[in-house]
Structure 1
Amino acid sequence: MTSLNVWDIHGGIHPPECKDLSNRAPIQRMPLPARLIVPLAQHLGAPAEPCVALGEQVLKGQKIAEASGFVSAPVHAPTSGTVSFIGPQPYPHVSGMTATAIVIDSDGRDQWIELQPHTDYRQLPPAELLDIIRQAGINGLGGAGFPTAVKLTAPPTQTIRTLVINGTECEPYITADDLLMREKAAELIAGIEILEYLIQPQEVLIGIEDNKPEAIAAVRAAVANRPYVVKVFPTKYPSGGEKQLIQILTGEEVPSGGLPADIGMLCQNVGTCVAVHDAVLLGKPLISRITTLTGEALVRPMNIEALIGTPVAELLDFTGLDSGKLNRLIMGGPMMGFTLPSMDVPLIKTTNCLLASTLAELPPPPPALPCIRCGECAEVCPASLLPQQLHFFALGQEHEQLKAYNLFDCIECGACAYVCPSSIPLVQYYRAAKGEIRALEQKQQKAEHSKQRFELRQERLRRAEEQKEADRKARAERAARAKEAQAQTASQDDPVTRVQAQKVGLSEEQKKLKIEASMAQVALKKAEKQLAAHATPELEAQVAELRIAASSAQQALDAANAAAPPAQATPAPANDEAAKKAKIEAAMLRAQVRKLEKLETRDDEQQAELTRLQAQLTEAEQALAGAQQGAPTAPSKPAGDEVLKKAKIELAMKRAELKKAEKAGADEAELSKLRDGLASAEQALHAAEEKSSKPAPELVRTEKRPIDEQARALKTEVAFARADLRKLERDSDSDATRVEAARQRLNEAERKLQEYTDS
């Protein structure tokens, strides 16, 4: 059995105790609220995910939200009723933030689901017992709210040899654990037995401060002859910190940045042990907790067992809140708690105290003054840190120095700020610095993840390019072999075969080396482009290897060419070259003509283009026929024919432009300009037809009334007047007088044009 000796921690303070406000009456039960607000994030880790729908009827203890990850906990209905809302609701936080919650309207029956107790839990395998605790939604009830099932799941490399039960409750006002140990000592010991069976420790230590004599007596009586050691030690804040309590009870210190499990320790709060008892032996999930309601602004301070989700305002009304005396409403104790900006928030699993203080009870701190380097903060720090140095580093945002001085070992107990003669809110600086460091580390992790993804993508692209080059090389070799076979079997009279036979001859070895050298150069250029875009050691090494490979391939090709130079090509006959060019030209023109002929409808511009291409195709086919027969190409057409062809094309284009403008609703000035251009094109066509050697076509034309200068001017005025009016009508800020004047101008212009037209 472990010695009854206890050790001391560095620093600590003794703030005035006010526990007698709430520890003189037994635990009270809160009446059933009409409406419960159950947040989905009442624990450290990922919030739970709703598993009920709006309007659904639920029973007391029914699961309404599933755990969304390993570090998470499910949520259960505190009473029977109807799900009336799922969404953002006020949440107990200093910022006044909202959080997703499930709102249940009570039906007043408080009807339980069918419970499944496990009184024979020793017959269950540890994994099944651990799952019962996990499904009950239990998390630490001492303040932090870490999911209990996760904490009980020790890594395979760690063995828990000491189970520490925390009954310290060192905050000056809170008495919830004190009353729980007095009234539920038997349930506490039964919960400890379940934990002992689950983790099989060598010893169980129960730590209680000496300012709780009734609780000490009740726990010792409940322990009886069990091999549990109840250790009582002097009252000092913050003895209730997990690492500090382990040091007090065992003399061992948790290493900096480490966890109690690293030295074989596991710590659980007494409230958590009772919740484990309820989950296993009674089958009840965590839906209520004991909370201290205290402060001089309350008429009847007490400890109350209330349902999770009960509005804070109803709890305060039950204890007789005097709103005139209330100065600050604090959730938690005065040392580590925070001020609530509203009473609309609900009670959650980690709410161990609601402190309704008066101005005289907790006066506001005086304005902060410069640090005088007195060193008192370092003397009281229970984690043996240097608070003033951390303060200066936090002001300068020197994050590396903060980590070097073990900022994250700070438990934010507030002892340093309590003794500071300059009233510097040190803990607030530390919290802000921790948040900044965590945010930067998350950004760095994201950046590193992005870098890894980029490098993996580059590697995939490189492999894809290599595969593509290999496939291209294989295709080139297959094409070369097929070309050679075709050349050997083709007829000597085939002009294509004859031309290919006249090309420069290369041996198979020379062709192979030439392809390899070309592929190596292509791969080298692409790798150099990737290196210029994103320089990495891997790409630099790859480029170096490709340079060596390209140089070797080129040297091998040069050596092969020197040993067996390629044969000199015999120039192809002029007629064959001309026929080849004419054949290509005709094929290209034929493809363009077919593309236009496939169109179901063609405008004038497309029709003109088709006419031009058909004429060029006819010339190209004549030139091809002449080249294949060895005859000179067809003589060029007379210059007059070329002028006529151009005039036709120009006329078609002008007509297409006019039709396009008319469809688009262009103004009269632009249409007049296009009509003039069309008339000029028609005159040019007539002149070309007279000079051409072709007979003039028989035209059937409808005479149009010519537009004289007076008509053109009137139409132009109408167009401008209409445009000005439309512009003013579109502008919402236009003056009504100006709009009316523009409308009269348009009417007058249209009247004059009509009179001139009718005359």
Structure 2
Amino acid sequence: MARKKTFPRGIHPEENKLTARKPLEFLPPPEKVFIPLLQHFGAPASPLVKKGDEVLLGQKIGEAKATFSAHVHASVSGQVAAVEDVIHPNGYPVLAVVINNDGQDRPCPEMKEWADPLSLSPEEIKKRVKEAGIVGLGGAAFPTAVKLSPPKDKPIDTLIINGCECEPYLTADHRLMLEFPEEIVKGAELARRAVGASRIIFGLEDNKPDAAASLRQHLHGLPAEVVLLKTKYPQGAEKNLIYALLGREVPRGGLPFDVGVLVQNVGTARAIWEACRSGKPLIERAITVTGPMIKEPKNLLVRIGTPLSYVISSCGGLMEGASLIILGGPMMGLAQSSLDVPVIKGTSGVVALREACLEEELPCIRCGRCVDHCPMRLVPTQIVKFIQAEKWAEAETWGALDCVECGCCQYSCPSKIRLVHWIRVGKNFLVKLKRKKSA
């Protein structure tokens, strides 16, 4: 039997896919939504509405005025209650549009069925994706219209659709592939045409054979295939996925288009199809609400701007002893200090865990486990030492900005050193330094 494709290094955490067999449920929107104007990589959108304005479902309420930005749309119809700062899942205040839901879901005129989306030109596909405010739904939230427009000297030959969902606990992408395979495949075909790629590869971990079979039923006549990869974390990281499927290595500091590849998440592919078929902007997404401290774990389709407290209450609430709420997965997600934060475009899940105690850090014993498991082939302990000493040039030279923050190093560290925390601190500082130099 042929060995399953994969990438070097990585780890094998417990999968804990508690909701893999639970179909997606539509969560009715709450009485009030809080829609941040920054839910993506890049600059925030500029507000187009003010307090007292009436808005329709799908209406553009925030306009992207920078290249790296994304439009923002109303996820309910109703009246604007405020345009004010709210707490972003990242922990800082951002400007948001607060809407009182009228419960009617009155659609805006732009949301209408289009005839034969597969006949659209590449430019028309990109235009509709941009107007829909679509971003990468795998976590990075990079504006999709930008990804669909690589430099002219970087031709794309392969589109990879990422269905790995390698984070423990999360299963929403799995359910999308089981329940909406045709929409995902058609959205992928639109993305392929938009960038002029010659083929599509759907990359899934081998713990999802049912999803692979579901997708294969809709590939007839398309230059596409489904490949099952070894289940290992972080198989779904872009550079790891490209290496596993194609054997190509994205150069240090480079991007997938440097090796002729574009990677999109399965949820993004579905969003592309919805935008091109019916003009539907990105106003909802699939998430998993799970963990040992959630009473009724579920997979949900949730409107953007829905408060975390409302989402959790729809799953029966928290069990006694819950104290750690993570948006995203347990490896790369962010712990939350408040249940008032909203679901945003980049929210892949909500994981509730038992009381977590930070274990005491011990001195590094130079065991090398962090190096052995790092998929980016970095030396995390050395990078952290430079960051702690504020030796920024050395930290960058040793690859701080190449870290994907997957957490493999910290997971495997017997001394419980908070390596990812320190590298995140260093990366943020290095990015600020670069912005100052380029200003």
2:142 matched residue in structure 1:
146
Partner of 1:313: 309
Listed as ranges, the gaps of 5+ residues in structure 1 are 447-759
Post-superposition Cα deviations, 1:322-354, rounded to whole Å, max 9, x if no partner, equal 352312000111110111000011110000010
State whether structure 2 residue 378 is matched by structure 1 residue 378.
no
- Select which of 37, 41, 52 maps to 1:40: 37
Cα distance in 2, alignment partners of residues 291 and 27 from structure 1 = 9
Judged with a 3 Å threshold, the aligned counterparts in structure 2 of structure 1 residues 5 and 224 are, in CA distance, closer, same or farther, namely farther
- Which of 179, 183, 186 matches 1:187? 183
Q: How many residues end up aligned between the 2 structures?
A: 437
Greater CA deviation, 61-70 or 286-295?
61-70
Inter-partner Cα distance in structure 2 for 1:74 and 1:383: 33
Output the CA distance in 2 between the equivalents of 1:201 and 1:128. 16
- Which runs of 4 or more aligned residues in structure 1 lie more than 6 Å from their structure 2 counterparts after TM superposition? none
Cα deviation, residue 90, structure 1 = 2.3
TM-score under structure 1 length normalisation: 0.56
More helix as a share of residues: 1
Could you tell me how far 1:445 is from its partner in structure 2? 3.3
Name the structure 2 match of 1:113. 108
Map of 1:16 onto structure 2: 14
What is the aligned counterpart of 2:132 among 104, 123, 136? 136
RMSD, matched Cα = 1.5
Report the secondary structure of 2:212's partner residue: helix
Say whether the 8 Å CA contact 2:63–2:72 is kept in structure 1: yes
Q: Distance in 1 between matches of 2:437 and 2:97?
A: 35
Contact 1:6 1:250 in 2 (8 A): no
Report the AA paired with residue 101 of structure 1: A
Measured against aligned partners, the alpha-carbon deviations of 1:714-742 in whole angstroms (never above 9, x if no partner) come to: xxxxxxxxxxxxxxxxxxxxxxxxxxxxx
1:52 matched residue in structure 2 = 49
Asked if the contact 2:295–2:319 (Cα under 8 Å) also holds between the matched residues in 1, the reply is no
Q: 1 CA distance for matches of 2:410 and 2:178?
A: 33
Q: For each residue in 1:378-405, what CA deviation from the matched residue of structure 2 results, as whole angstroms up to 9, or x when unmatched?
A: 0000011111221222222222222221
Aligned pair partner of 1:100 in 78, 95, 98: 95
* Structure 1 position 122, deviation (Å): 4.7
Shift in Å at residue 364 of structure 1?
2.7
- Greater strand share, 1 or 2? 2
Aligned residues of 2:33 and 2:101 also touching (Cα < 8 A): yes
Scaled by the length of structure 2, what TM-score is found?
0.97
Distance in 2 (alpha carbons) for counterparts of 1:53 and 1:322 = 35
- What's the secondary structure of 2:281's corresponding residue? coil
Question: For 1:2-26, what per-residue CA distance to the aligned partner results, in whole angstroms no more than 9, with x for missing partners?
Answer: xx9864322100001110x222211
SS at match of 2:217: helix
- Residues 518-572 of structure 1: per-residue CA shift (max 9 Å, x gap): xxxxxxxxxxxxxxxxxxxxxxxxxxxxxxxxxxxxxxxxxxxxxxxxxxxxxxx
Query: Structure 2 residue aligned with 1:408, among 401, 418, 424?
Result: 401
Q: Counterpart of 2:423?
A: 430
1:52 shift after superposition? 1.5
Match of residue 165, structure 1, among 136, 141, 161: 161
CA contact (8 A) 2:55 2:74 kept: yes
Displacement after TM superposition at 1:265 (Å): 0.6
The reply to whether residue 79 of structure 1 matches residue 59 of structure 2 is: no
* Runs of 5+ unmatched residues, structure 2: none
Give SS of 1:327's match.
strand
What secondary structure, in the 3-state scheme, does the structure 2 residue paired with 1:223 have? coil
**Which residue number corresponds to residue 176 of structure 1?**
172
Q: Percent identity?
A: 43
Give CA deviations for 1:425-464 in whole Å, capped at 9, x if unaligned: 1011111111222222333334xxxxxxxxxxxxxxxxxx
Q: CA deviation at 1:288?
A: 0.3
Q: Does 1:398 align with 2:391?
A: yes
Q: Highest Rg: 1 or 2?
A: 1
For the residue of structure 1 that corresponds to 2:218, the secondary structure is: helix
Distance of 1:23 and 1:9 partners within structure 2: 24
Mark the CA change 1:67 to 1:444 in structure 2 (over 3 Å): closer, same or farther.
closer
Q: Tell me how far 1:117 sits from its aligned partner.
A: 3.3
Conservation of the 8 A alpha-carbon contact between 2:328 and 2:349: yes
Structure 1: which amino acid aligns with 2:106?
Q
SS for the counterpart of 1:42 is coil
